[in-house]
Structure 1
C-alpha cells in the first residue's frame, strides 16, 4: 500500500514500509509546504539576508560571505566535498529508509529546496534505483546524504536491478536530466537527521520482530528445561509496574498453555535460574525501552532538523541557524535500544547453554545423538557466545564518542548515525543467537526423556521447524541449519499467539484465538540485507 506524506509527518512504521518497498507519494499539502519554503529562500537571496549555507560558507567557514553568483557552486561543491563515505555500501532497505526520511524532512516546509529536488529523490525511490551509500565515515549525518544526493546531479553510483551504474547513466535511463542545484540546496541535501531517523525506523521494525521471536523461543527453552510456570503468574508480575513485563507475561502464558511437560515439572524446584525465571523482566524491560525509543524516533520525524531553518513570510522571511540538526536524543535512544536487545540475546545464550549442558538440562550432553562420536550443539553454543561478546562491543555507547571537527567549530559530536548502525548490527547478531536457540530447543524436544505433550503453540513451532529440518545427527553442516533459523527469525514474525495482542502503546488486549499458519521461509539471504558490523550469514 502506498505511503502518502500529507501535512502530517510520517511515523517510523511508514518509513519502515517504504524501506521494504512500498511507494512514497508526496501529497498536495506536502508539495505546497516545499514550494512555500523555496519562496522564503529566494527572498533571503534577493534581499541578501545573511543565512548560513545560503550566502555563507559552511562549518568553520560560516563567516565567509558567498555572492549570489557563487551560490550554485557552493551547493554543488558541498555534495562533492561531503561525499567521503568509506566501506561497504548500505543495503537497499537502509538506503530507502534514509531517502524516505529525507523526503519527510523536506516536506515540513522549512528547508527551502525546490520541489523538483524532492521529486528527484522520490523518482529514484519509485524506480528502486538506489544510490550507493558507503556505510562509514559519518560522525552525524553528512556523508550518507551526500552520496545519495550525488545521483541527483548525475554523479556517484547506483545499484539498480543487480547492476552498478553511474549516476549519470541512471538518470539517462530514467529519462531525467542532472539537477543544477541552487542556493541552499546542497546544504539541505546533506543536512539534518534523515540518516539516523531512517535507520532507526528500520531498527525498530527489526527489533519488534526480534522481541516477538525472543518470547516464543524462550518459551520453548523454558518448557524443555521444566521451568516453574509460577514465574509468569499474573498476580506475581503485577507487583512490578511495567507494561512490557505484563505483556511478555501474557505472551508466555499463552505460548505455554496446555503444556503437559510443565505440569510434570510443577513444584520440582523452589525457583528456576535467573535466565529462566526472569524472561518477563528482561524481555519486558527491552519492550519498555523499545516503546520509549519509538516515541523518540517519531518525535524526530515530526521535527524540522535542517540548519538553517527558514520560516516567516515572503514579506518577512526568518532564518534560524542553530542546532536542530544535532541528533542527541535519537543517538541516546539508539544506544539504549542496542543495549536492550543485546541483553535479551545474552540471556538467550545462557538458556542455550543450559539446554546443551547435561549437568543442568536432564538431556543428552550437547543435545547429541550417540554422545561421544557426535558433538551435537556443543560448538553452536560457542558461536552464540561469540556473538554475545560481539554485541557487548557493539553496544558501547556511540553517543559518548565525542570528537572535534571543522576547526573547533563543531566541538561536540553525538554520533547518531553510527549509533543506529550499531543498533542494526546488534539486532542482526541477536537474530542469529535466537536462531541457534530455536534449533537447540527443537532438538531438545526430540531428546526429551519425559513422555508428555508440548503446549499446542510450541508444538506448532516445533512442527514447522521439523517440516524443513530433520533432527540433527551430526550428519550435515550445522551452519546450514543455522542459516535457515536465522532467516526464519530475521525475515518474518512468528505465528500470532492465541488470545494476546498489543497496540503501539504497549497495552495488552484480548483477541480470539487465531489459527497458526505454517512457518515457511526461504533459506536464501535477500540481497537487500547488508548491515555493517554484523556477522555474515
Structure 2
C-alpha cells in the first residue's frame, strides 16, 4: 500500500496507514513546494534578512545574530542540544506516525528545508529503519523530532530488522551519507507539532476500535444481566440530540435483536442501573468527542506548524516568527479524548462488578464454577478497578500543567505531546478493562440460569471466543486469558454488527486464526518499548 502526499495534506487515516507500514511518497507538486520554500531561505540568508533560527539563536537567544559561516553549526548543534528525551523508546508505529506527520508539514512549503532532508526521512520510513525516540522529556514538542533527526546526520540510534545500531551504521548499511545541515534545517527538524499530531492520529484509530468493542462487550453484559431493551428505544433516544448516542443505540438494538434472554426479562425492573441504561449516552458522548478530535487532528495536519514560517516570493521573501508551533488545540483535544475513554472504561468496570456480584447478577458468585474452592473472576475485578483508578490519574489534563522554560522566553506551555501520550496510556488501560469484561460476560453465558436463547450476534461471538478461550475453572492463571482478551480488543476490530439483523442468522465473525494476537509495536512492550504507547 502507498500513501501520497500531494497538494492535499495527509489526514489522520493516512498517517495511521503509514504508521502501519504503508509507503509514503511525495507528489511532484509537494516536491515543488518544498524546493520553493528552500529558495526563500536561501534568499533570506543571502540578503541578511533577520529571521529567527535562520540567522539568530533560538529560544531566549533569539536576539543573538548568527553569521552565515556559523549557520551550519547552529542547525547541527540544535539537534544535539534538543535530543534530550528520556525513558523507554516509543514503538515502531508511534515513530512512523511522527515521521509521516513531519513530512506532511514540510510539504506545505513553508518550512524551508531542502528536499534532500525530506527524502532522507522518506528513505528511513521505506526501509523501516526507525530512529530510537525516548518517550518522555517534552513539554510540547522538540525532543522527539530531535532524536529522529539525529539519524539523518549519522548520530543517534535506530532499530532495524530487530537490531539496535548507531545512526551512522544504519546509514552505511543503507548506502547513505550523513547529511550536513544548512540554515534553518536544524530548527525545522525539531519544531512544530508533528509529534503530537502523529500520536494523536494513532489515538484516534485505537479509540475508534475501542468504542466499537465497548458497544459489543456492553451488549453481552447487558444481555446477561437481563436489561430492559427500552434503554435503546430509538424514539426515546431521539429526545437527546447526539449523533454518537443515536449510533450507539442503533448498534445495541442490532447486536441484541432476537434475544430470548432479554425477552424473558421484559418488565422485570422499572429501570436498569445507570451502568446499563446509559450505554448510549456515555458511549455516544465518547463518539462525539472522537469526531470532534478527528476534526482537530485533520486541521492540524492541514496547518503549517513551524516557527518561523517562510512565504512570499524570492524577490520579496516574508518571515513569520510567531507561535504556530504551539499545539494548544490538539493538546485540549487529547485531554478531552482521554477523559471520554476513561469514562467509558469506568462504566465497563461497573458492569463487570455487577456480573461477579451475586447480590445483583442472579449468577454464581464471582462467576466461579464451584462455590468456596474457586474464586473465579473475583480478583480480575480488582485489576479492572485498579486500572480505572490509573485512568483517573492519567486523565488529568496535561494542557493545564503550565511551566516556564528558556529563561522566561517560553513562559506558557501547552504540553501537547504529553497529552497525547496520556491518551494512549488510557487507551491501553481501557482495552484491558474491556478485555476483562468480555471474558466475564462470556463466562456468565456459560453459567446463565435462564434457559433462553441469546441474540444471534452475541451467540456467534460467544462461540468464537470459546473456540479460543475455554471456560474458566480456576485451572490456569487468569492473567493469560486476560492478555489474550486484551489483544482481541486492542489489535482486532470486533465482528461487524449487522443492521438489520436477520432472524437467528449468525453474523460473520473471525476465524480462530484471526483471533490470535497480532504483532503490535507496544501493546505488550518488548524489552524497552514504552508501556502505554500501543500500536494498533
TM-score range normalised by the length of the shorter chain: over 0.9
Residue of structure 2 in register with 1:422 after alignment: 422
Shift of 1:260: 0.4
- 2:131/2:148 contact within 8 Å kept: yes
Q: SS of the counterpart of 2:311?
A: strand
- After TM superposition, the structure 1 stretch with the greater mean CA deviation from structure 2, 521-530 or 113-122, is 521-530
With structure 1 as the length reference, what TM-score do the two structures score? 0.96
CA distance in 2, matches of 1:187, 1:197: 18
- 2:457/2:507 contact within 8 Å kept: no
- 1:425/1:532 contact within 8 Å kept: no
1:34 and 2:27 aligned? no
> In the superposition, relative to structure 1, how do residues 75 and 366 fare at CA in structure 2: closer, same or farther (>3 Å)?
same
Residue of structure 2 in register with 1:526 after alignment: 520
Residue of structure 2 in register with 1:141 after alignment: 141
- 2:522/2:534 contact within 8 Å kept: no
- 2:90/2:533 contact within 8 Å kept: no
Q: Which runs of 5+ in 2 are unaligned?
A: none
Shift of 1:535: 10
CA distance in 2, matches of 1:119, 1:283: 42
Shift of 1:536: 10
CA distance in 1, matches of 2:22, 2:500: 28
Shift of 1:518: 3.4
CA RMSD of aligned residues (A): 1.6
Shift of 1:526: 3.0
Alignment of 1:63-74 (within 5 A): 63-74=63-74
The C-alpha deviation readout for 1:477-498, integer Å capped at 9, x for no partner, is 0000001000001001001111
Residue of structure 2 in register with 1:354 after alignment: 354
Q: Which runs of 5+ in 1 are unaligned?
A: 502-511
Shift of 1:524: 6.7
Alignment of 1:432-511 (within 5 A): 432-499=432-499
- 2:97/2:198 contact within 8 Å kept: yes
The C-alpha deviation readout for 1:249-270, integer Å capped at 9, x for no partner, is 0000000000000000001100
Q: SS of the counterpart of 2:158?
A: strand
> How many residues of Structure 1 are paired with residues of Structure 2 in the alignment?
527
- 2:105/2:301 contact within 8 Å kept: yes
Residue of structure 1 in register with 2:165 after alignment: 165
Residue of structure 1 in register with 2:203 after alignment: 203
CA distance in 1, matches of 2:511, 2:268: 34
- 2:345/2:388 contact within 8 Å kept: yes
Shift of 1:377: 0.1
Residue of structure 1 in register with 2:268 after alignment: 268
Residue of structure 2 in register with 1:182 after alignment: 182
- 1:16/1:201 contact within 8 Å kept: yes
Alignment of 1:101-500 (within 5 A): 101-499=101-499
The C-alpha deviation readout for 1:345-369, integer Å capped at 9, x for no partner, is 0000000000000000000000001
Residue of structure 2 in register with 1:515 after alignment: 508
CA distance in 2, matches of 1:77, 1:66: 13
CA distance in 1, matches of 2:511, 2:444: 21
CA distance in 2, matches of 1:389, 1:528: 22
CA distance in 1, matches of 2:534, 2:167: 29
CA distance in 2, matches of 1:80, 1:245: 49
1:18 and 2:18 aligned? yes
Q: SS of the counterpart of 1:21?
A: coil
CA distance in 1, matches of 2:414, 2:128: 31
The C-alpha deviation readout for 1:462-483, integer Å capped at 9, x for no partner, is 1111001110000000000001
